[in-house]
């Protein structure tokens, strides 16, 4: 059985600040590092923070760009929520339940890192909604 890992590269303007946020804040494990990039282990997936000199500006909303994780155990989602609150990480959207009472029901919250990268962390009440339920057109808050 293959174990495929997710990889995401994203822009930052300060490696030390990135390390503080992602390692001390989110609980990532730091990997290789140089003055241009930092590799992070986020729950077994590879994030790579790359330095940029471009101006990084905040998004107005969660669409179209964000990344994150879907937890398969609600307690793990709750643990990260508590950690984020305790570490006083910036919430772009506080924790909430979406599509309550439907097969798409899930819990979610959004964080914003110091470089305006948005992250969503979810737990689906019904796992089949992660990829399935094609009879429903709802994807996020915009239909």
* 120 inside domain: yes
* 88 inside domain: yes
* 135 inside domain: no
Query: Do residues 108 and 118 lie in contact, with contact meaning Cβ atoms separated by under 8 Å?
Result: no
Instruction: Say which CATH number the domain at 24 has.
Output: 3.10.180.10
Task: Write the burial class of residue 75 (CB in 10 Å: 0-12 exposed, 13-18 middle, 19+ buried).
Answer: exposed
* 142 inside domain: no
Strands 67-71 and 118-124 turn out to be: parallel
Q: What is the DSSP letter of 49?
A: E
pTM: 0.92
Q: What is the DSSP letter of 72?
A: S
Q: Residue for token digits 């989110």? A: 26
* 44 inside domain: yes
Which residue range forms the structural domain that includes residue 18?
A: 7-130
Overall number of domains in the chain: 1
Residuewise pLDDT in 10s, the chain (143 residues): 668 999 999 999 999 999 999 999 999 999 999 999 999 999 999 999 999 999 999 999 999 899 999 999 999 999 999 999 999 999 999 999 999 999 999 999 999 999 999 999 999 999 999 988 777 777 776 55
Q: What is d(CA 94, CA 114) in angstroms, rounded to the nearest whole number?
A: 17
């Amino acid at each position: 059985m293959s174990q495929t890992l997710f990889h995401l590269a994203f822009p930052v303007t300060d490696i030390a600040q990135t390390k503080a946020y992602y390692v001390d804040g989110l609980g990532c494990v730091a990997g290789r590092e140089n003055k241009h990039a930092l590799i992070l282990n986020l729950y077994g997936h590879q994030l790579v923070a790359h330095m940029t000199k471009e101006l990084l500006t905040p998004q107005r909303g969660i669409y179209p760009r964000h990344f994150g994780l879907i937890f398969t155990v609600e307690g793990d989602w709750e643990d990260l929520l508590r950690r984020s609150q305790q570490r006083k990480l910036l919430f772009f959207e506080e924790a909430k339940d979406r599509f309550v009472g439907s097969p798409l029901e899930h819990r979610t919250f959004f964080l914003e890192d110091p470089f305006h990268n948005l992250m969503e962390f979810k737990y689906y009440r019904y796992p089949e909604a992660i990829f399935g339920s094609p009879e429903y057109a709802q994807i996020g808050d915009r239909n």
